[in-house]
Amino acid sequence: VKKTEEKQEKEEKKEKKERLAKQKAERAEAKRLKEEFRIEFRQRDKAAKTEWLILSAEDKKARKLALKAEKKARRIQNQQSLKTGLKNFIQSFRSINIRSLKRKFRDFRDNAPKRRRFMLTTANSTVLFLLSYFALFLFSQMITVIAASFFDYPTIVYYFEIYFNISQESWFHDSVKTIFSSGPVVNFVIGITFIIIYSNIKENNSLFKLFFLWGFLHAVNMLFGALLVGTLFETGVGHVISWMYVMDTGKVLYSILSIFILVIAGLVATKPFLISGNSYFNELNDENRTSFVLSQVFLPYIAGNVALLLIRQPRFVFYDTFILVALFLCILPILVTYRSYNILYFEEEEKKPGFVWIPLAVLILAVLFFRVVLQIGLRFNG
What pTM, to 2 d.p., does this model score? 0.71
Average model confidence (pLDDT) across the chain: 84
Are 154 and 166 within 8 A, CB to CB? yes
pLDDT (average), residues 284-305: 90
pLDDT at position 111 is 59
**Residue 9 confidence (pLDDT):** 73
Give the mean model confidence (pLDDT) for residues 292-317. 91
Torsion, Cα 329 331 334 336, to 10 degrees, reads -60
Query: Residue 2's pLDDT band (boundaries 50, 70, 90)?
Result: low
Helix (H) or strand (E) holding 371: none
pLDDT the model gives residue 198: 93
Q: 104 pLDDT exceeds 60?
A: no
Average pLDDT over residues 209-222: 94
Q: Please check the confidence at residue 274 and state whether its pLDDT lies above 80.
A: yes
Q: What is the mean predicted confidence (pLDDT) over 315-328?
A: 88
Angle (nearest 5°) at CA 285 between 281 and 289: 75
3-state secondary structure of 205: coil
pLDDT (mean) for 161-184 = 86
The fraction of the chain above a pLDDT of 70, given in percent, is 91
CB-hemisphere CA count at 13 Å for 82? 6
- Give the list of residues 6+ apart from residue 145 with CB closer than 8 angstroms, or none: 155, 157, 162, 380
- Residue 102 confidence (pLDDT): 61
